[in-house]
A and B are shown apart, each in its own frame.
Chain A
Amino acid sequence: MARRALVATAASIVVLAPLAWFWQASLMPGTYSIMDGHGGHQHHGRGVHTLVADPARAADVRVTLVARKERFRLPSGRAFDGYTVNGTSPGPTVRAVQGQLVEVTLVNESVPDGATVHWHGIDVPNAADGVAGVTQDAVPPGGSFTYRFVAEQAGTYWYHSHQVSHEQVQKGLLGAVVIEPGTPRGGVVALVHRYGAVRTVNGYAGDVVQPSAAGERARVRVINTDNGPMTSWVTGAPFTLAAIDGTEVREPAPVTGQGVLVTSGGRADIEVVVPEAGARIELGGDTAIVLSPPGSVAGKRSPAPARMVDPLAYGAPAAVAPIDPGRVNREHEYSIGRRPGFLDGRPGLWWTVNGRMFPDVPDFRVAEGDVVRFTVSNHSGEVHPMHLHGHHALVTSRDGVPATGSPWWTDSLNVASGETYEIVFVADNPGLWMDHCHNLPHAAQGLMAHVSYEGVTTPFLIGGPAANSPE
């Protein structure tokens, strides 16, 4: 009898011990540096906080953003428990002219977990990137932090907290950024955000009427701040996809009957010549910007088109490739998968990078001046909007098909399951940069890695006294 009980106990141990071991091995310390655990890591070098815009230069644009946790009214009138910037959500649009030095002071009035501001899509100096635990400590209630950067790229961008971002972004700590070239392009911001179950544009639900003149060329700056890709299309007029992720498309051709996929965190500037009857810029199907000349009536939305504008082949190619593929001297692979396991003790099916689960994901090392090629592939069964901080990457191919259209510069790339992209960028902005999934709950579930420059280190810690938690 005893022998039998022994065998049963042994069998149980054989089943349970590996589980216990994997569980234990997955537990994360409360505080650690993103520099830990990677072979040849460096604790000496330039600190990220020294990578700043010229401190001697005076600011051209000064903005103060006050973050609060509160119950507030959306522009639509609905009450919502969340976060505001200067008393509203979305927060105020930060505007600058190309070349201006922008200085933004974040004041955290009452966000208990602390807050930061990340400039999504703007290649700021690393110290201004706003990632808690990597480039700064989360700003505690009562504290403040100043971000300084030169607005070098004209285009449509946005800002959001990068502390407990999967919660703070969803609940409203965000706003738009528009950087105009010397000759302004104008246009309407269409910041799309889901507050709870309701999708809104600039905080309004349903149709948002924008008075326009018939015959006017109107630009709608679509910003998808949600966690899933969104289809945008136009009812009532042909349109051009004028810019992607802030970069102008060369010679964009007018299209009809097609949509534009705006991935999480991504932007698309859509231009139409407003017809007399008006035009609707459909945003996901339940909200729209209605460009409405006097006397016109907002028409009904058209069905979502099945075909999408493919940026790989849209617009005119540049005479000379913006980055010579022959100059690539550093290659990295970013392969996204999924497997069962434990993440910090929690069982589940978790995302993997190159087969490894967070925090054992690769450290994508580069040196300043490198021309870097990333091969990003997704084998995980779900779409991932991949966001690289601090750089714009040029898409050179998808599934082996080379890009033939206007140079496709992106910072937020929709990588569907089964797809493989090759992207190239110049390592010209030293620092420690997140390269993560902008479906923010996915980042919190471990789909997050870093591009780190040789000789750069961070004094900031994940966890620590500031309780930094960038995801």
Chain B
Amino acid sequence: MSSPLIQLKSVSKSFADKTILQNISMTVNRGEITTLIGPNGAGKSSLARLILGLITPDFGDITRSDDLVIGYMPQKIHIDPTLPISTHRFLQLANASHEDCYKALEKVGIPDVKHTPLHKLSGGEMQRALLARAILRQPNLLILDEPVQGVDFNGQNELYELIGELRSSLNCGIVMVSHDLHLVMSATDHVICLNHHICCQGKPEQVTQDPAYLDIFGETALYNHRHNHQHSLEGKVLDADGKHQHGEGCQHD
């Protein structure tokens, strides 16, 4: 097996006096989809930005593979309508040729919007355009921050399917950020549940065997998520009695 794409060892990050991420260790391998889930403000995007190298950790180490090329799909981009830029031109900003841009648009299923101004794309088209730009650099690691944001239910399913296809066609590792538990589980190999620290992680349950279940949900599997602990309103870890319980290696109060 080839070396991991990226490896985080006991990484911590604070902003101002607030600890956003504490003692995070994770590994991303080629061809593997890792999903970060957790409530709003749990540090999911910060973790993605650490992996991207946009911010540096206060403590801990991040080891990147020598041949690492990252494709990034940001959470949401705001295009000011005063900037006249076509979707095709937007893709070209990634230093790609006409031909490659066209192919990328075809790959994500929106070949017809290449002349459409970026600010006129629908929610689903915009997410696909962002995905097209992310794959243009022939990445071996894709970081997707809330890739189905602003997309309707059917569109979400299609996007997750597309992401699964991209994983096999590019043979890349994927780190996906999501706050919805249900949809994303079927399209992932490894789940990390994050709330400033790693609450739990592992393979999503294999629930897709029941034919009746498949009839209702198609290829979408409902993930049964069971925490071994609960969180207080501030996000602190509580045990069943409501008392604080420290995870392994936790240093906080």
Genuine A/B complex: no
